[in-house]
Each structure stands twice: as structure tokens, then as C-alpha cells.
A = this chain, B = another copy of it.
């Protein structure tokens, strides 16, 4: 029975800023003096227009998006995007390049296969168990797009710089690091991100799509699976996930107004990750699994000397109010997911616990 909030290191759904949760709670029975809960308000009302437009504008300001970019709120998570991307952009004679950096990139590739779309794995880090981000990749000159996964939650790797694709638009799964740092948007034709890590509750997927991508979309697709359907209706072709969009708006407001934008957000995130990696590098009890120059600022994956100690570590941490430290079920080990909303106080509490645990179990 926990009566207080824990330090939440979940990989997703993950921690949200406390002040966002408190605002949702305070207004839950009567949103914006409407006499209704946010969950009861028509998506065609002026109340909701204000919410969705505010979320779009904040996203555009934070990422410095010009008018070519549309910010959409879809459903089905990144997993549906894995299929929508090749469905929309690859016709019979087209091909796309994919970079395979682990499970999620692999799932994106698999959907192109299922759809029988031409594609090529331009680079892979499978040779070293996905512990690094490939460098100096040669892309096909005629690829319609290059698909990347900016941050890999399971293996704890992340692109620090995005490759030069010589003008081929990058389509990027940013589910686990969107809004964690500034981006040079010129490289990206489409970004998608399930909300449940850095943005809000599960069930909403943010898509940022540039007009030239919309222009090359296949036309004969089911209505809900075409990006233009959603872009032309401000994400309200059908009823959107209103509660998710509302929460995302509050999270973006928190990044803008409390944190002070993406440069500051990135500085926070570097400080947090450095505290953990530096501590682990200073000894040899905890061993980060990703290669040094590909280490994720969002998911710090590490091993202890043996699996028994890992189990004990995770269980004792939970007793001390540090939750979610178990590695992904496919790889084992430990993982601290430290997305935007995880504060420095949680990192300090974790490092303190790690020090004590090491001392007792060395």
C-alpha cells in the first residue's frame, strides 16, 4: 500500500509531470467552466477547439515548425504507423531505406514486408546485438524515404546526430524521445510518436507530416489510413482521443512555460543521464549495455554482475519507492527510463540507492 507517489522509471506508459496531473484532477468534473468533464465534451465544441489548437500551436512553436508541417493526433500507436508509412508512400515501383536498430525498427521493417513493398535495410547494428547506432550509412539515391528509430527503448541507444540523407526525407519513429531536445526539422518528412513516453497517456499518436509527403500519398487507401484525411480535418475527421490530446496540450505547456523550451529540456535530460552514466562508469559493479557514443538519454539500460543481483536490485528498489527498473522482458537486466517528466530528484534517489546497493552486495 503506497500512499505517496513513487519515483517512476517506467518505460511507457511513463511518468507525467505532477503539475499536469494535478491540473487534470482539479478540473476533472468541470472543464473550463463548461459544466462537463473533459471526457464528456463534444470534439466539435469551442471548448475542444481551444484545446486541440493550443496543442498544435505549442508543438509548432517548440519545434519551430513552419507552415509546411501539419501536427496530427492519430490512434493506433507507432505500431499502426509502421504500416501506414509504406501504405501511404510506396507505390509499386518505389522503394524505401530502413535502418535496423532493434526491436521497434524491426517491426517497422516487418510491416513493409507484409505489405509487399520494396524496401532495403540500409544499415543494421544487429552484429553487436543492437548496442550502437550505425554511422556513415549509404542510402539508395532513389529511396522514397529513409526510416529511422531515433531512440531505442529496449537496447538503450539513441541517435545523437541524424544522418545526411542528401535530401531524401527521413521518416522517424520518435515515440521515446520526441520533445526531449531541439530538432533540425528540415531533414524530416514525417515524425510519429506514441504519446505514452514523453507526451501523455497511451492511445494517442502524434504525427508531424510535411506537405510534400502528403502530396506523394497513395490515393486509393481506406479513409482512416490516409494522412490527408486527418491533415485536412485538423485531426477531427472522426472523434479524436480528446482526453489524450488535452493531456498532451498540458504537457507541452509545461515544457514551454515551466521548463522553458527544448534547449532547456535537453540540458535537463543530459544532466539526468550523465548523473547515472557517470556514476556507473566510475565503478565496475553496474555495466551500461549500450556503446558509449550511442547511449540513450531516455532509457539507461544496464546490467549487474549477475541475474540474481539484478532481481534483488529491482525488488529492493521498489521497496524504497523506485519503480519500473526491470529491463524489457525480451532482454532482461535493468533499465531506468528517464523521460522528460522524470525530475533530477528521482535520479538522485536512484543513484543513492545504487551506491548503497553496491556497497552491500559487492
Contacts and interface: CB of A to CB of B under 8 A. Distances in A.
28 contacts: A2-B34, A4-B30, A4-B35, A5-B36, A8-B36, A10-B41, A11-B42, A13-B40, A13-B242, A15-B40, A21-B28, A21-B40, A22-B29, A36-B323, A75-B80, A76-B76, A76-B224, A79-B224, A80-B224, A82-B224, A111-B223, A194-B239, A201-B241, A202-B241, A203-B204, A203-B239, A203-B240, A203-B244
A28 B35 contact: no
Contacts of A16: 37, 39-40
B201 A242 contact: yes
Which of A8, A30, A40, A110 is the most central at the interface, judged by chain B CB atoms within 10 Å of its CB? A40
Given A13-B39, A203-B241, A2 B33 contact: yes
Contacts of A22: 29
Main SS class of interface, A? loop
A150 interface: no
A241 B75 CA distance: 9
B33 A243 contact: no
A28 B25 contact: yes
B35 A79 contact: no
A242 B36 contact: no
Interface string A189-201: 0000010100011
A220 interface: yes
Nearest to A12: B239
Contacts of A323: 34-36
Interface of A: 1-6, 8, 10-16, 18, 21-22, 24-25, 28-30, 33-37, 39-44, 75-80, 82-83, 87, 107, 110-111, 114-115, 194, 196, 200-204, 220-225, 237-244, 247, 321, 323-324, 329
A196 B239 contact: yes
Given A2-B35, A10-B41, A22-B29, 9 more contacts: A8-B40, A12-B239, A28-B28, A76-B80, A110-B223, A114-B222, A115-B222, A202-B243, A203-B243
A113 to B, nearest CB: 10
Nearest to A30: B5
Contact of A29 (B21, B77, B196): B21
Given A21-B39, A42-B11, A242 B203 contact: yes
A6 B14 CA distance: 34
Given A83-B225, A201-B242, A243-B243, A114 B220 contact: yes
Nearest to A194: B239
A33 B1 contact: yes
Nearest to A29: B21
A83 B222 contact: yes
B204 A114 contact: no
Given A76-B76, A80-B224, A240 B202 contact: yes
